[in-house]
Amino acid sequence: MRLAECLNHASVKTLRDIAVYQKLECAMYSKLDLMENILLNMRSNHQLEHLISAWCEDWGESFRRLALHSRTKFSKEEVRGLLRDTDQNALHKALSQGWLYANSIAEKRLVYVIPDEIRRAIQTHFRSQWMAERICRDDEPLLQYDEQMAMVQDMDTLLNYVANHDVRLTIGGAMYKKNVQQLMELFEVAEDLALPEWRFGYGRRVYDYPDRLALMYDFGFDHDMFIETPECQLQISQSAVDEWRATPRKVQLQRMYHYYLRIYRRPIPRLREVIETIRMVADEWVSSQSVFQICQCHIESFYYDTEWDVWEKRILRMLQHLGIIRTGFDGDEKEPVWFQITKLGQELLTQDEAHLPDEQEYRQASLIVQPNFEIVVTAQDSALEAQIAQFADLKSGGAMRIYRVLEKTVTRGLNAGHDFAKWRVLLAERGMGPVPGNVDRMFDEWAKGIPTTGTLTS
């Protein structure tokens, strides 16, 4: 909502209070005159900057939270909560300063709004203040960790792994270490399996798994893709997984990001604000320490995590996993020293699902069957890979996905009741070249379901 509109809806009394606060010399009885004068005053950049500084001093941190909130409309309770208003005075004071307006015309109920121009000016104000505080570098760090879409790829790997393997759970409901280790071998981004003793607060399974896997698993579980059976077995729900696979990949990643916000907001209540600040200042390589100082007012320690732990492990590291930022180091890499927001991150943070740019390349996924029984998938396509995984094992993930067909994987697929003939048709149709003769011949033999050694030993 624009400022002029807000003023138009305001009562003469409110306008008069604003004029007094802003020390305007005008006729206090004429609404038109008041409006014109206030508009004129607040349209002057110099005056507005002056006012914003005063408001910042008046309200401190709560002003920053309200003005930089992702929403522009607030209920009365929200405003009072944000302003830490114990009696009516604070709200009244805010309304008389010219940046917050009560409005009941546009909506059916009473809402409080910050006019668009004012909001933009406040953002610019903070932005330039932080830009002066942040420390940038001109050159590129030596080591750069940019995980891009690895999170959704590894999610696919996890789903395929559970679908095609017998995954048992402990009494506590966690996968056995053997399975987790195998998964780490297959994941594009592996994590350390040695977990510290104290772990809670960051999701349902964070006690059992390392952070990234825990987030992926919890996400899958909350979206009904995983089923923990009473017989301590982990299975997937085909319908939920099919629905997930029909979703565009960037949307998948964004949903995982939103899920991260939901889970991590409990221990870190002001996570949104921190990320919003990061988005504003980290368009270049910035020093982690300097941005930490800007965000420090939003970050509190959480039981076993210090403020710095929260910043480094729970925020930066997880944003890196989600492809939103890339981190950089020059030598010692115990903690992220530098980071920068990625193009993908900008998209995920600012666009809604319907407007996320689609990735054309992912539609053209095709595969190559090699004479050494490896299947190379050139671009990610989770539906295609799910089918391949019925009779092949993922050998290595990465920018390319390499599957390996073995006699035992074919036997496993046949035992699970998958259609081998249909699978071979898929290879022929989506393959960039014909299936090599030696591989095709071996498939013929395996299709008979007779193991090559078995016949003679019986």
Partner 1 sequence: MLLYPQADGTLYVKHSQSKASSRHVEDSICLDDFAQPIQFMEPFTVYEVTPLRLRSAAMRGRSARDVLTYLRAYAQGPIPATLQRRIVESMSNCPAAGTKPQRQDLLPALDIHLSSQRSLRDYQVAAVDAFITSQGGGIVVLPCGAGKTVVGTAILAKLALPTLILVPNEAAAAQWLAHIRTWTDVAETSVGIDNGRTIKPITITTYQRLTARRRSGEFHHLARYREGAFGLVIYDEVHLLPAKLFRLASQLEAKRKLGLTATLVREDGRAMDVLTLVGPIVFQAHSVDLSKQGHLSPVVCKEIRIPLSDLDRERYARALPKHRHRIAADNERKFNVIRWLCAKHAGERILIMGHYTAFLQAIATRLGVPMLSGSTPHQTRLETYRRFRGGEISMLVLSRIANVAVDLPNANVAIQVSGLFGSRQEEAQRLGRILRPSGDPARFYSLVTANSIEEQHGLHRQKYLIEQGYTYEIVAYEELALN
Q: Is 142 in the site for partner 1 (CB under 8 A)?
A: yes
Pick from 106, 193, 400, 416 the residue near partner 1 by CB under 8 A: 400
Q: Structure tokens of 334?
A: 């115990």
380, 153 Cβ separation under 8 angstroms: yes
Q: Is 350 in the site for partner 1 (CB under 8 A)?
A: no
Q: Is 210 in the site for partner 1 (CB under 8 A)?
A: no
Return d(Cα 69, Cα 299) in angstroms, integer: 16
Pick from 145, 207, 221, 362 the residue near partner 1 by CB under 8 A: 145
The interface with partner 1 within residues 42-81 (CB under 8 A) comprises none
- What is the DSSP code (8-state) at residue 362? G
The interface with partner 1 within residues 220-249 (CB under 8 A) comprises none
Q: Is 366 in the site for partner 1 (CB under 8 A)?
A: no
Q: How far is the CB of 391 from partner 1 (least distance, A)?
A: 17
Of 7-15, 119-127, 158-166, 368-376, the segment contacting partner 1 by CB under 8 A is 368-376
Q: Using CB atoms within 10 A of its CB, is residue 172 exposed (0-12), middle (13-18) or buried (19+)?
A: exposed
Q: Is 436 in the site for partner 1 (CB under 8 A)?
A: yes
- What is the DSSP code (8-state) at residue 354? G
- Our CB check for partner 1 shows the closer of 26 and 365 to be 365
Q: Is 146 in the site for partner 1 (CB under 8 A)?
A: yes
- Our CB check for partner 1 shows the closer of 266 and 441 to be 441
Q: Is 181 in the site for partner 1 (CB under 8 A)?
A: no
354, 257 Cβ separation under 8 angstroms: no
Q: Is 399 in the site for partner 1 (CB under 8 A)?
A: yes
Q: Using CB atoms within 10 A of its CB, is residue 184 exposed (0-12), middle (13-18) or buried (19+)?
A: middle
Beta carbons within 10 angstroms of residue 185's beta carbon: 12
Of the candidates 331, 324, 329, which has an alpha carbon nearest to the alpha carbon of residue 282? 324
50 Cβ neighbours under 8 A, 6+ residues apart? none
Q: Is 372 in the site for partner 1 (CB under 8 A)?
A: yes
Pick from 4, 56, 102, 376 the residue near partner 1 by CB under 8 A: 376
Q: Is 374 in the site for partner 1 (CB under 8 A)?
A: yes
Q: Judged by CB under 8 A, how many residues of this single chain contact partner 1?
A: 38
Pick from 172, 196, 230, 398 the residue near partner 1 by CB under 8 A: 398
Q: How far is the CB of 326 from partner 1 (least distance, A)?
A: 9
68 Cβ neighbours under 8 A, 6+ residues apart? 122, 123, 126, 273, 276, 277
Q: Structure tokens of 19?
A: 């004029």
Return d(Cα 341, Cα 348) in angstroms, integer: 11
Of 81-89, 104-112, 119-127, 393-401, the segment contacting partner 1 by CB under 8 A is 393-401
Q: Is 455 in the site for partner 1 (CB under 8 A)?
A: yes
The β-bridge partners of 112 are 74, 102
Q: Is 365 in the site for partner 1 (CB under 8 A)?
A: no
Residue 108 to residues 66, 75, 77: CA-CA distances in angstroms? 22, 12, 16
Q: Is 335 in the site for partner 1 (CB under 8 A)?
A: no
The β-bridge partners of 403 are 375, 394
Of 105-113, 229-237, 261-269, 366-374, the segment contacting partner 1 by CB under 8 A is 366-374
266 Cβ neighbours under 8 A, 6+ residues apart? 201
Pick from 70, 88, 360, 457 the residue near partner 1 by CB under 8 A: 457
**Contacting positions for partner 1 (CB under 8 A):** 140, 142-148, 150, 186-190, 333, 368, 370-372, 374, 376, 396-400, 402, 433, 436-438, 441, 452-453, 455-458
